[in-house]
Amino acid sequence: MLRTAETSDSPAAARGRSDRSPGGPVRLTAQRGLFFGPTGRAPEDLYSVVERGVARRERGRVTLAPGSRVGTNTYFGRFYATYWQRWTAVEQVEVTAVASGEGRVRLLASDTNKVSRIVDSVDVGTSAGPETREIRLVGPIDRFLDGGGMWLEITTELGQLSVSDVRWTVLAPRAVPTTDVVICTYNRVEECLDTLQAMIDDPEALAVVGLVRVVDQGSDPLESRERFEAVSKELGDKLVYLRQPNLGGAGGFTRGLFEATAGPVEEQRDVLFMDDDVMLEPELLFRLTTFGACTAQPTIVGGQMLNLLHPGHLHISAEYADPENLKVGIPVEGALQEAYLLGKDERDLPINQERRADTEYNGWWSCLIPAAIVRAIGYPLPLFFQWDDIEFGYRARHAGFPTVSLPGAGVWHGDFGWKDWDEWHRYFNLRNGLITAALRTPFSTRTINKRIAHLLSIYLVGMHYGLAATLLQAVEDFLDGPEILADGSAEAATKIRRIRSDFPETKVVPMSDLPDEFTDLTVVRSGPDPSLEGLTLAKRAAYHLLGKAVHRTGFIPAGDAHWWHVALFDRAVVTDMGETGVRVRKRDKDLALALGRRGLEAMRRLKAEGPAVRDQYRAAVPELTSRENWARLYGLQD
């Protein structure tokens, strides 16, 4: 049945707890040794690689034929020792496994330059023949401060060897907190149920966490499906299902924090945020919760994002934001970005995050937030969507609580590169970026206006009139001050959709619905990036105002839809980034001029009113992030 009230859960057994003596030290499973993914959609070489010979890889077991070698120097197979040495006081990791047959198991390590060394080794089998026994290898977590990791190498010569039940364990430095999972969902019923089922299918990982809260804000609720009844029955008392009006990701995730941090301090729980539409690797539950339990201070521990459409690719391993320039997802120096994890580098070595790259925030597709941080800095801002995770991460950082984006703890999420910016949620990206800039930067109106002017200019010459209006609405609403957040931004979400509906090019149209006049369009590819962007922008703007077009019409592939190329057309049929349809953009000089004038006024206001508005947002933060404010938004008596 569904749980509707809190109870006390002990995660001890699930975490691989093993008291060496009554009251002795507690060992936690930092990660399991997995040789295969949870589903056929996950590339097995992300877990283990057959480097020589023949081997049968299963989820928790690998069996090698004679003369074979299998390595786990892979994204999910490595133990990322550099992150453990930097962020925890754990001194060593133990690797245990059950080995059957004859062969050798080595524990290898690397340094910052990917040079490997042997840390420990166990031979299985004797002169009398094969054997079955538990093996143990020990790896000191030292000499990894700047980079490096550990992994297993399993080899056979004349015999067969099977290795299973691999556990990487560490000593817990303190009492282990209970962690609840919170999934925020909005009309992604099947995807959300898939995520819940993935947890059910891995009971060992599921047992690591306490409750699983699903905050359903959609008009198509999970509970309307027959499948939900089966999932609920299997989860039993672990599942808490909540319905509430749509307050965006911020409102949905914060509801989980709100419930988990109610009551006395000793009853409060850490929370692991989880998107509803990820392809879940349940192993993530072990890796985030154990790492979080071992950090030297309360730390936000984030899972990394692997691309769902291209599951061998890592989105980014460490990033930062530039709020004054409204930019997010900027890679930290040395971080992997859109890296093909199944490939090799120039030395024919695996592509891994060898040198540690420290992030400044982590997306909430999977992210563990300790209750202690919430008590210290408050709850997220009611931003509805986008920048909520970034603002919270920077607020925590300012208060002395770091964020770690932990390699090897990944989920598959929809590829950002296949999502078009010309959508209603771009409003929140822009408006909430301004709010974050007001809170976390000196708020240079000159820098911000320069960025706004650039965006507005390229939107107008690229016939992105609806996107230009979205930008201006974001600026104008920001200038209205923190009262725009009084309803959790629910009205803003409705309003921006209504505004954008007046602009035809914001709509994605199936190719089959295009008029007959478009049937003979030819593809016109883009040239190289302009060497003098400012001069090119000025020329394209002149084309727009003078009605000059190099091409009267044409078909532009998504990858070629740069503003400087689209601006050469009087009318362009542009493939949407998701490649599900097209957008028809058509020049409108009068509309462009009107939006330009509106933009100048918005920038004038930002320069004149910006500093005072900045101070208003800063003064409002304690109230906006308070438990009382969120209780009001949820309509609860706290």
Q: Which of the four pLDDT bands, split at 50, 70 and 90, describes residue 126?
A: confident
State residue 638's pLDDT score: 67
- Assign 3-state DSSP to the chain and report helix, strand, coil percentages, each to 5: 35, 25, 35
State residue 511's pLDDT score: 84
Compute the C-alpha angle 486/488/494, nearest 5°.
Answer: 110
Is the pLDDT reported for residue 359 higher than 70? yes
Per residue in 181-227, pLDDT tens?
A: 999 999 999 999 999 999 999 999 999 999 999 999 999 999 999 99
Letter for the amino acid at 55? Answer: A
Q: How many CB atoms lie within 10 A of CB 451?
A: 18
CB contact at 8 A, 280 and 38? yes
Q: Which of the four pLDDT bands, split at 50, 70 and 90, describes residue 517?
A: confident
More confident residue, 304 or 12: 304
- Give the list of residues 6+ apart from residue 19 with CB closer than 8 angstroms, or none: 25, 26
State residue 630's pLDDT score: 98
State residue 416's pLDDT score: 85
Per residue in 68-109, pLDDT tens?
A: 999 999 999 999 999 999 999 999 999 999 999 999 999 999
CB contact at 8 A, 338 and 316? yes
Letter for the amino acid at 122? Answer: V
Three-state secondary structure string covering 358-375: CCCCCCCCEEEECHHHHH
User: What is the percent of the chain with per-residue pLDDT over 70, rounded to a whole number?
Assistant: 95
Rounded Cα–Cα distance for residues 294 and 31 (Å): 13
3-state secondary structure of 164: strand
Nearest C-alpha neighbor of 250 from the set 358, 404, 330, 369: 369
CB contact at 8 A, 571 and 587? yes
State residue 527's pLDDT score: 87
Q: How many CB atoms lie within 10 A of CB 25?
A: 11
Nearest C-alpha neighbor of 474 from the set 434, 420, 423, 422: 434
Rounded Cα–Cα distance for residues 154 and 342 (Å): 19
Average pLDDT of 381-389? 95
State residue 18's pLDDT score: 45
Rounded Cα–Cα distance for residues 71 and 93 (Å): 18
Per residue in 373-384, pLDDT tens?
A: 999 999 999 999
Rounded Cα–Cα distance for residues 559 and 132 (Å): 56
Element (H, E) at 410: strand 403-413
Rounded Cα–Cα distance for residues 527 and 593 (Å): 27
Phi, psi of 487 (to 5 degrees): -105, 15
Is the pLDDT reported for residue 134 higher than 60? yes
3-state secondary structure of 84: helix
Average pLDDT of 12-26? 50
Is the pLDDT reported for residue 519 higher than 90? no
Query: Which runs of consecutive H residues, i.e. helices, occur in 263-361?
Result: 283-294
Per residue in 583-638, pLDDT tens?
A: 999 999 999 999 999 999 999 999 999 999 999 999 999 999 999 999 999 999 86
State residue 23's pLDDT score: 57
Looking at the DSSP bridge assignments, the partners of residue 337 are 316
Q: Is 80 exposed, middle or buried (0-12, 13-18, 19+ CB in 10 A)?
A: buried
State residue 607's pLDDT score: 97
User: What is the percent of the chain with per-residue pLDDT over 90, rounded to a whole number?
Assistant: 86
**Furthest CA-CA distance within the chain:** 91
State residue 507's pLDDT score: 94
Phi-psi region of 16 (alpha: psi -120 to 50; beta: other; left: phi over 0): left
Rounded Cα–Cα distance for residues 466 and 452 (Å): 15
Q: Which of the four pLDDT bands, split at 50, 70 and 90, describes residue 2?
A: very low
Residue 30 vs residues 14, 20, 121, 132, 484: alpha-carbon distances, Å:
12, 17, 20, 25, 43
Per residue in 464-490, pLDDT tens?
A: 999 999 999 999 999 999 999 999 999
- Give the list of residues 6+ apart from residue 76 with CB closer than 8 angstroms, or none: 34, 37, 46, 47, 281, 283, 408, 410
User: What value does the mean pLDDT of the chain take?
Assistant: 93
Rounded Cα–Cα distance for residues 220 and 223 (Å): 9
Q: Which of the four pLDDT bands, split at 50, 70 and 90, describes residue 405?
A: very high
Is the pLDDT reported for residue 8 higher than 80? no
- Give the list of residues 6+ apart from residue 271 with CB closer than 8 angstroms, or none: 179, 180, 181, 182, 256, 257, 260, 261, 368, 369, 371
